[in-house]
Structure 1
């Protein structure tokens, strides 16, 4: 019995030793305070923690970290490792068209529309016609000035209750409704894209998020 007990203790110890845990303790511009198995270290972009995590990019909101063969988008106090499995990630793959655009179908408040990915747009943007088609009320929304290719236009600041691209769904997304017919296609801007991982390789763009 003693021998069996010793074997059981050794098995538990081996499991504990092999388990690894990474926690984000602090986020800064171009640096992350990482803790791996209890060891904390400030790791700058391009450098690695002794525990095997490499920081690819970092700002005050999130960091891209390569760990255990995978790239993770981590927020403050995010915990990953063998004891804490990450939730399944949703992924949307887009093919660049002949106009060098990445277009996709999306759902806004349950209604479908076409959009073009625009990392240069600070917010999701649509024309008044799009807003009417999608049932978005903006008449009483705050008025804002929008810089367009043809000059400055009047716009309305709204929030989208739900915006989904494939299986990636986010809520309360800031958006602008531009008075008139511009833009001709809804712009999927950074107010949504900042919540996803975006990678471009050749003519393929991949959006992914938990």
Structure 2
């Protein structure tokens, strides 16, 4: 799934909604300083619901009013401000998994949260797309249901989900197309606070 992100910018700490990421049937919004990922057809967040979305715009219902927004556009609301630590709110997606758009070394990608994975795990095609030079990494052997895979352990400069960034994250790159999706494993998850609230996974910075 292609994810479109806004360029870097700053915003005032005033009540409102801003669009910072768009993808098919979903959007990444800043709601009163807290990042939320909303998907079409899933429970609303603070009275905000996605009606439709693509890479160009999102149509929202905000307190009963329909609003169409594009990247970096803001609409005023009356939500309370928050001084909480940066967090990412991830709704359950296809197959019951938690899918999260994010960044590796500041390049856009999509993760599946996997508490059973030791590292952030990706294949060599993902690595090429994200500019990860893995062949200078430590050679390791990964045993999977599909057999033994030649892999390399590397350290990623940064991994970002929502507004949460962790630096120096251990990862394993396997040659070929396994795993098919990038797995967000415990090398990242153990360095953030993780909880589930009403079916929504919350990853929050410890800093």
TM-score of the aligned structures, taking structure 1 as reference length: 0.56
CA distance in 1, matches of 2:153, 2:108: 21
- Aligned pairs for 1:12-91 within 5 A: 88-91=84-87
Question: Counterpart of 1:146?
Answer: 142
Larger radius of gyration: 1
Over the aligned positions, Cα root-mean-square deviation in angstroms equals: 1.4
- The answer to whether 1:181 aligns with 2:177 is yes
Number of aligned residue pairs: give it: 124
Post-superposition Cα deviations, 1:90-109, rounded to whole Å, max 9, x if no partner, equal 11111112401000111111
Moved over 4 A (4+): none
Deviates more, 1:194-203 or 1:108-117: 194-203
How far off its partner does 1:149 sit?
A: 2.2
Question: Counterpart of 1:122?
Answer: 118
Which residues of structure 1 form unaligned runs of 5+? Answer: 1-86
CA distance in 2, matches of 1:98, 1:193: 21
Question: Counterpart of 1:108?
Answer: 104
Question: Counterpart of 1:57?
Answer: none
CA distance in 1, matches of 2:85, 2:193: 10
The DSSP-based 3-state class of the residue aligned with 2:95 is coil
The DSSP-based 3-state class of the residue aligned with 2:125 is helix
The DSSP-based 3-state class of the residue aligned with 2:127 is helix
TM-score of the aligned structures, taking structure 2 as reference length: 0.57
Whether the 8 Å contact between 2:119 and 2:187 is mirrored in structure 1 is yes
How far off its partner does 1:164 sit?
A: 0.9
- The answer to whether 1:160 aligns with 2:156 is yes
How far off its partner does 1:177 sit?
A: 0.2
Which residues of structure 2 form unaligned runs of 5+? Answer: 1-82
- The answer to whether 1:170 aligns with 2:159 is no
How far off its partner does 1:150 sit?
A: 1.3
Where is the helix percentage greater, Structure 1 or Structure 2? 1
CA distance in 2, matches of 1:197, 1:152: 33
- Aligned pairs for 1:180-199 within 5 A: 180-199=176-195
Whether the 8 Å contact between 2:89 and 2:162 is mirrored in structure 1 is no
CA distance in 1, matches of 2:93, 2:166: 26
Question: Counterpart of 1:208?
Answer: 204
How far off its partner does 1:201 sit?
A: 3.7
